[in-house]
Amino acid sequence: MSADTNADVSTTAESLVEPLPSVPAALAHIGTETALVIADYHAGIEIGLRYERGVELDSNAEDRRHRLLNLLTGHPVDRLIILGDAGHRIGNPDDKETQELTSVFEAVLNHAPITVVRGNHDAGIESVATAVETDSAQTGNTIDVTEASGINFGDIGFVHGHSWPDETVLDCDILCVGHEHPQLRVADHVGGSQQTRAWLRGPLDWTPFQNKLEIKTTFESPDDTQTISQDPPDVIVFPAFNERSGGTKVNTNEGFLSPFLPAAFQKNHTDAYLLDGTRLGPYQSV
């Protein structure tokens, strides 16, 4: 395993999306705006864990909100983009989850508009967003909820990742994906192992999208003298913002959650990065 300590996840040529050091968030440069991007906030997760697994945990809602607001106020940000799963329940949010979402949305709207890229845990989120927008109308900021197939801002595509992105979303330089909650299983100093959140980044493999979406990635030149191949975007898979949400241990035999991963990764060209920016090389080899 090779390690490049303190290497940036993005390079100078790929500075459209810049992960922030030691936190599961990034700045995305979308035209004239700068957006703070996070994935998998999972508001109300403690209630879900109680019913799903019988796990009793004190709510961490206030800490989550403060961490997010500190990122918003600590950087020159024009918009918050949530890459899906703002909430935790698959169905409509319950009272506690609604309360947390309302509190978060109200606090964020005091600083910036919000775009939620719909995830599989975001059923019913429009009703929460509409109510908050009405109560926060004086801020002039809004909450937009996209389709699950994603959205483009500038040269960047955003999709949650539980379903296939729209072909137009793939017409980008960088594709940002959530849903997977990537983690690494790494050895500790006493001979055991632990899980740690990670970023994944590498060039996209067109093959699964050609097969599923029948997209065209080669074109004839205007004078019909040569075939031009469309360059694939880079894929960045975001770690979950919520540290209690678990995840896919990508350097084990554990299967991926997304229908297009890991097939959409070019083999041995997708690197894993720790939150502190340490580059570990191809994720399969960590």
Dihedral sign of CA atoms 261, 264, 270, 276 in order: negative
Q: 60 falls in which pLDDT band (50, 70, 90)?
A: confident
Question: Is residue 39 within 8 Å of 240, Cβ to Cβ?
Answer: yes
This model's pTM is above 0.75? yes
| Per-residue confidence (pLDDT) for residue 15, from 0 to 100 | 87
CA-atom Rg of the chain in angstroms: 19
Q: What is the mean pLDDT of residues 95-121?
A: 94
Domains and CATH numbers, the chain: 12-285 (3.60.21)
Residue 10 has pLDDT above 80, yes or no: no
| Per-residue confidence (pLDDT) for residue 201, from 0 to 100 | 97
| Per-residue confidence (pLDDT) for residue 230, from 0 to 100 | 79
Query: CA nearest 215: which of 151, 257, 169?
Result: 169
Q: What is the mean pLDDT of residues 257-268?
A: 95
Name beta bridge partners: 143. Answer: 114
Residue 1 has pLDDT above 50, yes or no: no
Q: What is the mean pLDDT of residues 117-123?
A: 92
Residue 9 has pLDDT above 60, yes or no: no
Q: What is the mean pLDDT of residues 239-260?
A: 94
Of 36-45, 105-114, 209-218, 239-248, the one with minimum mean pLDDT is 209-218
Question: What average pLDDT does the structure give for the chain?
Answer: 88
